[in-house]
Amino acid sequence: MEFEKVAAEGEIASGQLMPIEAKGLKLLLARVGDRYYASQRKCPHLGFNLCRGKIEDGAVVCPLHKAKFDLETGRIERDPRLLFIGMKAKTDLTTYPVKVEEGAILVGV
Ligand code: FES
């Protein structure tokens, strides 16, 4: 695994999500306080762009069917729903390690 610079610390505020790319993969970068998280950008349910979602209690919520994934582990915390119809995401979210060095955010892929 190699770490690749994806952003500078000042580019993302706490509570925000932003699209990044590392090794040609389209990923999501999230910040909660002073902690950073990286994961796949497509929702494991139907592939919606999770950068358009929001952060809730350390998890990312997909705006399309409200599935919720823990940003640290990628584990699904809430299944997707459409009105009263319950659905299942195919997998958990794939997450990637993040570190900060000299003001740069690096993701391991
Ligand atoms: S596409 Fe994300 S919850 Fe359905």
For 25-79, how does the pLDDT look when each residue is reduced to its tens digit (9 = 90+)? 999 999 999 999 999 999 999 999 999 999 999 999 999 999 999 999 999 999 9
C-alpha of residue 48 to centroid of ligand 1, in Å? 6
Closest Cα to residue 35, out of 109, 92, 107, 98? Answer: 98
| Residue 17 burial by Cβ neighbours in a 10 Å radius (0-12, 13-18, 19+) | buried
Given a contact cutoff of 8 angstroms between Cβ atoms, the answer to whether 74 and 95 are in contact is yes
Q: pTM of the entire structure? A: 0.94
Level-2 CATH architecture, domain 3-108: 3-layer Sandwich (2.102)
List 28's β-bridge partners, or say none.
19, 39
Q: What is the Cα–Cα distance from 78 to 11, expressed in whole angstroms?
A: 29
Determine if ligand 1 sits within 6 Å of the CB of residue 64. Answer: yes
C-alpha of residue 70 to centroid of ligand 1, in Å? 14
Ligand 1 atom with the shortest distance to the CA of 43? 2
